[in-house]
Structure formats: C-alpha cells, structure tokens
Amino acid sequence: MSDAHAAAGALAARALLWIVLAGAGAMLATAVLSLPEDGLGLADETLADLGRTGVEHPVTAVLMNYRAYDTLLEMAVLFLALVGVWSMAEARPRPTAPPGLVLQFLTQLLVPFLILFAGYLLWAGAHEPGGAFQAGAVLAAAGVLVTLSGAQLPSVPRALHRSLLLLGLVTFAAAGVAVQLGGGAFLEFPPSAAKALILAIEAAAGISIGLGLVAIFEGGRPSEPESAPR
C-alpha cells in the first residue's frame, strides 16, 4: 500500500471515529437529560428486601444477591482475560535492576497491612462500602508491589496456583447450583443461608481476583520449565 493511500485510510478512520464518538456522545447527553428529576431507579425495592439478602449494605446486596448473575459473569470475564494474557505470551523475567531502598522498605512496611486491609474490606463489604473486588484489588496491589520490589512471590505448585485462580468462579457457580438443587432458582440464595454463602463466595472471589490481577500484571503465563512457577 502506498503512503498516500495509507494516509487517506487513516484520515477516513479518524473521521469515522469522530462521527461515532459524536453520535454516542449525543445519545448519552439525550439519555441523561431525559431522566426524570427524582424517583430514579430501584432504590426503594432494593431497600425493601434488604433483610432477606444476607447483607446490610445495599450495594453489596445488589452485587452479590439481586444481581449475582452479573457478578458471576464478571468473574468469568476476568478469568477469560487472564486466559487471553496467558495464551499470548510467556511472562518474561523482569530486568533485575536493584530496587531502591525506599521501594524495598515501603514494600516490607505496606504488604502486611495491605493483606490485612484486604481482609477488612472483604468483611466490611457486608455492611459498608467494600467487597470482593475491592479486597482483590488491594491484594493484587500487594502482589504487584512485591513483584516490583524485585522480591520473589512465594512459589506455589502450578496446580495449586491454577486452582486458586479458578476458586472464585467455581465457588460462585457451585453455590448457584447448590441452591438450585435445594429447590430454588440458580443463584437464588435462601435468606437463611445467604450470609454464609455470600461470605464464602466473596472470600473465594477476593483471592481469585487478587491472584488473577497479579497474574495479568505479570503479562504472560508463568514460564514452563520450572516445577513451581508463579
């Protein structure tokens, strides 16, 4: 393809992009402007049944109970993203520039607190902002810090690593099927068991999300030859 040809193509693509963007922007603006002033959404319905969801925080109730199906699929999307990253490349060892003292010290100082805070967020999710995704993100931040500081993450057997990555998705789906076997619909948690089920799912999901995000940060599947890669 000639240069002029390519330039014309790029220009056309750019024009198309602007048209699409302008259209999407206009639609978004129309949608926002046409919203009624008040009485939006399902807030009343959400709060009315809050006592039967197993949690006290309405956002967590929506995520883990009313719309558990969406959250399950979100977990699946994260897992698929990891599968995509792993299928594209092998993680290359990072250049071993010696990390600065500040980074090393901060990592040592922060990582225990981050892990503790992840646990706190997980538990707090039941009655105030928090939950599995936030806990997973904090856990992943700890993992990323350790990786960046040049330290080795603890080496675990490959099968265990992969099981932990799948744990959240599997627990979630298993809980859904279990309540189905108990006579309800898929993911229709009975009020009596909802709290335990949601806590179990969130704990498993938090671990999987944290490990999954670290694995995505590594930028590829663990190198094969070693018996215990991370």
Partner 1 sequence: MSALTLLLDALLAGTLVWVAARALAAAELVTGIALFIAFGLLMTIVWVRLSAPDVALAEAGIGTGLTGALLFAALARLRRAGAPDNRGENGDE
d(CA 43, CA 66): 12
In SS3 terms, 142-187 reads as: HHHHHHHCCCCCCCCCHHHHHHHHHHHHHHHHHHHHHHHHCCCCCC
Distance in Å, CB of 131 to partner 1, minimum: 7
d(CA 79, CA 76): 5
Number of residues that bind partner 1 (CB under 8 A): 22
d(CA 78, CA 211): 11
Distance in Å, CB of 140 to partner 1, minimum: 6
State the DSSP string of 52-69: GSS-S-HHHHIIIIITHH
What are φ and ψ of residue 20, in 5° steps? Answer: -60, -45
d(CA 161, CA 212): 10
Residue 8 or 160 with smaller CB distance to partner 1: 8
Q: Which stretch binds partner 1 (CB under 8 A): 123-131, 157-165, 167-175, 221-229?
A: 123-131
Site string for partner 1, 201-220 (x = CB under 8 A): ------------x--xx-x-
Residue 184 or 220 with smaller CB distance to partner 1: 220
Please choose, from the candidates 78, 215, 99, 208, the residue with its C-alpha nearest in 3D space to the C-alpha of residue 223. 215
Distance in Å, CB of 123 to partner 1, minimum: 14
Site string for partner 1, 87-106 (x = CB under 8 A): -----x--x-----------
Applying the rule CB under 8 A, the residues between 124 and 163 that interact with partner 1 are: 129-131, 133-134, 137-138, 140-141, 144, 148
Residue 91 or 164 with smaller CB distance to partner 1: 91
Site string for partner 1, 50-69 (x = CB under 8 A): ---------x----------
SS3 content of the chain, % helix, strand, coil (to 5): 70, 0, 30
Site string for partner 1, 2-41 (x = CB under 8 A): -----x--x---x---------------------------
Q: For residue 42, how many other CB atoms are within 10 A of its CB? A: 10
Counted residue by residue, the chain has a size of: 230
Residue 118 or 169 with smaller CB distance to partner 1: 118
Binding site for partner 1 (CB under 8 A): 7, 10, 14, 59, 92, 95, 121, 129-131, 133-134, 137-138, 140-141, 144, 148, 213, 216-217, 219
